[in-house]
Amino acid sequence: MTGLSQLRGKLSQSEVARRLNISKSYLSLIESGKRRLSLDLAEKMAEEYGVNIEVVLHAYKVGKR
């Protein structure tokens, strides 16, 4: 499995942040493991990426390593 940035695919951070209604810098901090991923935001990411929430949570955990 890969980190959140790979899960995002070809979408830019700016585009995903806009769709999630968060700032690009906040998304960057989450993807780099410098900020915690809330369950609410994980659910939104799962919906946006078309995956199960477990995939998002696993990608977040992998990205923090």
Condensed to tens digits (0 to 9), the pLDDT of residues 4-63 reads 999 999 999 999 999 999 999 999 999 998 999 999 999 999 999 999 999 999 999 987
Domain boundaries, the chain: 4-63
What predicted TM-score, i.e. pTM, was given to this entire model?
0.89
The CA distance from 63 to 8, in Å, is 12
4-63: in CATH 3.40.50.720 = no
Q: What DSSP string describes 21-64?
A: TS-HHHHHHHHTTSSPPPHHHHHHHHHHHTS-HHHHHHHHHHHT
State the CB neighbour count (10 A cutoff) for residue 19. 13
